[in-house]
A and B are shown apart, each in its own frame.
Chain A
């Protein structure tokens, strides 16, 4: 579903991604670990066509992102570290707007409230202006937008960063439910615990290279923390 094929991205003399290849299939939750500047967000930006690769190819559902940028975006939903919404509008109005942009359909208030309830946002909160929301509440609206889009793949850029443990746990559950329904999930994170608890696959990036690509079984057996630290220190 999500494929990076020998992707290199350079910013002037700096190589942010160096010959990275990875593949995320439907049902996978691929957690990408790495220090700041390892190239995780650059990879997400390439999938979203916010950047163009210097070489290599990025594909969503078999289509090259560079040649079909709008079509490929219809298959994915993106949740950044900080879900940015319009502060003067309520959570419900934001969801209505983004969902309509994503799908072209206008949902009823009841449908929108149901979506928000499914991510843990009640009616009172849904009708409040987003400027009064906590980060966790914004993340929930972001997830509701992704659900409304009914996307076949999720691209998540450090989605649990700054969330309290309860909210992070709720978030993991939502990801697992999405994955169980066949959605491919690619998420970047610093959180090793989140990666082991949620991920079906884990990749470790270092200085633009994908230095580990572990499957479900590997994660179960490996001491991920030790492995990660070894790479970071090397």
Chain B
């Protein structure tokens, strides 16, 4: 019975041109966004890989020089562009892509792609994820707004129910048809995305495809929510015009307005310091820690003062660096934890505004969310510490016994080569799921709740 109803619904959607018109347009847009995403990801990945190789080559081909000079020059590490950025670039365009691993301090990522984008480029940077998250619900609305309301207006609903068809069977038939229509349109997009991701992740295709599979599941839940919302409204209101008006209003509120309001609320709930405040507070704590470490190790609170013997410069660099590690970890950790708390707030708000949950999960599984960004930052900082420790270690090893020629010492490529290449292993699918599970859970809960609400809107009398 449900299959029969679904087949008729699909026939009608096909014959009245909505499936081919609106559906085809959205599918085309997703495919275009995937093509643009693939090109962008391909170019960025190639650029960063090449830049990483060149930067390391620069490091190892330095001339003979003082190790601390070399540490100050440092090196750069480039964040690899994940394969699934083809689907969802997430926060990638708005956070930096490069970290300068320099002496003494942990740097933030710099060179944000969005900084260099012209207004026109920003308009053109639509992603497949954006089309699915923002335009996808509109497609479901266009396909289903009159699904029940129009039948009620036309009188075919009476005709069908008089045959002994249970209203809920009719509802499920329509839900299957609407879901089927969306699936039919999006399966080719998914296949295209899989092909692009496969190409972009040829070295490790399985984890990337697994991530894509999870993404498909999350988007299925997201569209499921909208299918039930659309059918619920269509069953509840008296006319198809009222149904369209209600659903478009709902789309404006939950897709356009509420995400901005909730993002703002999350920042009020878990405020983040300004850059100046953050740096001032961290510097204050660093100074205290440095003072403590210098007093304990060298009996002075004046860092790098004239009373520090030149043969102690190596060890003092190490002491100074190590004194700061805990403080920077604590400050950056607290800042990043605040961002994570804001994200959790927004994910749970997905119970009322599902786009927030799907957005978070989509970025998470695409590897373009803040958790992945943090993971990369931590890995880069670890590499910086390895490099700094090697430079300080060399100075300790070659401490100036005469106490007058510390700055004349020069290391050579032998030392530079001891610093390993920076190799970043992207986190596993399991790690991404552990970071992003609330989004998926919220989507599943919201889907179940919207199905229950829609079914409650379909009692017998209201159908007529």
The answer to whether B163 touches A149 (Cβ under 8 A) is yes
Q: Report Cα–Cα, A2/B15, bound state, in Å.
A: 40
The answer to whether A98 touches B161 (Cβ under 8 A) is no
Residue numbers in B under 8 Å from A102 (CB-CB): 163-164
Does B276 make an interface contact (CB < 8 A)?
A: no
Q: Which of the segments A81-89, A173-181, A219-227 contacts the partner chain?
A: A81-89
B163, B461, B464: the one contacting A98 at CB < 8 Å is B163
Q: Report Cα–Cα, A127/B4, bound state, in Å.
A: 20
Question: Which of the listed residues B4, B15, B164, B166 has the most CB atoms from chain A within 10 Å of its own CB?
Answer: B164
Q: Report Cα–Cα, A13/B75, bound state, in Å.
A: 85
Does B8 make an interface contact (CB < 8 A)?
A: yes
Residue numbers in A under 8 Å from B8 (CB-CB): 86, 89, 97
The answer to whether A80 touches B159 (Cβ under 8 A) is yes
Residue numbers in B under 8 Å from A48 (CB-CB): 158, 161-162
B1, B15, B154, B460: the one contacting A49 at CB < 8 Å is B460
**B1-39 vs A: 1/0 string, CB under 8 Å?**
100110010011001100000000000000000000000
Does B156 make an interface contact (CB < 8 A)?
A: yes
A76, A80, A100, A101: the one contacting B158 at CB < 8 Å is A80
Min CB distance B88 to A, Å, is: 37
Residue numbers in A under 8 Å from B427 (CB-CB): none
Does B299 make an interface contact (CB < 8 A)?
A: no
Q: A50-B460, A50-B464 are in contact. Are A73 and B164 (CB under 8 A)?
A: yes
Q: A80-B155, A84-B155, A101-B1 are in contact. Are A73 and B162 (CB under 8 A)?
A: yes
Min CB distance B379 to A, Å, is: 59
Does A232 make an interface contact (CB < 8 A)?
A: no
Residue numbers in B under 8 Å from A100 (CB-CB): 4
Residue numbers in B under 8 Å from A6 (CB-CB): none
Q: Report Cα–Cα, A83/B165, bound state, in Å.
A: 17
The answer to whether B158 touches A50 (Cβ under 8 A) is yes
B4, B12, B155: the one contacting A101 at CB < 8 Å is B4
Residue numbers in B under 8 Å from A77 (CB-CB): 162
Q: A86-B12, A89-B12, A104-B1 are in contact. Are A70 and B166 (CB under 8 A)?
A: yes
- Chain B, residue nearest A84 (CB): B155
Does A78 make an interface contact (CB < 8 A)?
A: yes
Residue numbers in B under 8 Å from A69 (CB-CB): 460
Does B46 make an interface contact (CB < 8 A)?
A: no
Does B160 make an interface contact (CB < 8 A)?
A: yes
The answer to whether A83 touches B159 (Cβ under 8 A) is yes
Q: Report Cα–Cα, A162/B151, bound state, in Å.
A: 22
- Chain B, residue nearest A142 (CB): B159
- Chain B, residue nearest A155 (CB): B162
Min CB distance A73 to B, Å, is: 4
Q: Report Cα–Cα, A98/B5, bound state, in Å.
A: 10
**A197-222 vs B: 1/0 string, CB under 8 Å?**
00000000000000000000000000
Does A74 make an interface contact (CB < 8 A)?
A: yes
**A145-169 vs B: 1/0 string, CB under 8 Å?**
0000100000100000000000000
Min CB distance A138 to B, Å, is: 11
The answer to whether A82 touches B155 (Cβ under 8 A) is yes
Q: Report Cα–Cα, A49/B12, bound state, in Å.
A: 28
The answer to whether A97 touches B4 (Cβ under 8 A) is yes
Min CB distance B305 to A, Å, is: 89
The answer to whether A86 touches B156 (Cβ under 8 A) is yes
Min CB distance B231 to A, Å, is: 18
Q: Report Cα–Cα, A155/B163, bound state, in Å.
A: 12
Min CB distance B240 to A, Å, is: 14
A73, A85, A89: the one contacting B163 at CB < 8 Å is A73
Q: Report Cα–Cα, A151/B351, bound state, in Å.
A: 47
Q: Report Cα–Cα, A100/B1, bound state, in Å.
A: 8
Question: Which of the listed residues B8, B154, B159, B461 has the most CB atoms from chain A within 10 Å of its own CB?
Answer: B159
Q: A86-B12, A88-B12, A101-B1 are in contact. Are A74 and B164 (CB under 8 A)?
A: yes
Residue numbers in A under 8 Å from B160 (CB-CB): 98, 101
The answer to whether B165 touches A101 (Cβ under 8 A) is yes
Q: Report Cα–Cα, A27/B464, bound state, in Å.
A: 31
A76, A78, A82, A88: the one contacting B15 at CB < 8 Å is A88
- Chain B, residue nearest A129 (CB): B15
Does A22 make an interface contact (CB < 8 A)?
A: no
Does A51 make an interface contact (CB < 8 A)?
A: yes
The answer to whether B156 touches A84 (Cβ under 8 A) is yes
Residue numbers in B under 8 Å from A104 (CB-CB): 1
Residue numbers in A under 8 Å from B461 (CB-CB): 50-51
A–B complex contacts, Cβ < 8 Å, 17 sampled: A48-B162, A50-B158, A50-B460, A51-B461, A70-B164, A80-B155, A80-B158, A84-B156, A84-B159, A85-B156, A88-B11, A88-B15, A89-B8, A97-B8, A98-B159, A101-B160, A104-B1
Interface residues of A (CB under 8 A from B): 48-51, 69-71, 73-74, 76-78, 80, 82-86, 88-89, 93, 97-98, 100-102, 104, 149, 155
Interface residues of B (CB under 8 A from A): 1, 4-5, 8, 11-12, 15-16, 154-156, 158-166, 460-461, 464
Top 3 nearest A-B pairs (CB, nearest first) are A84-B155, A73-B164, A78-B162
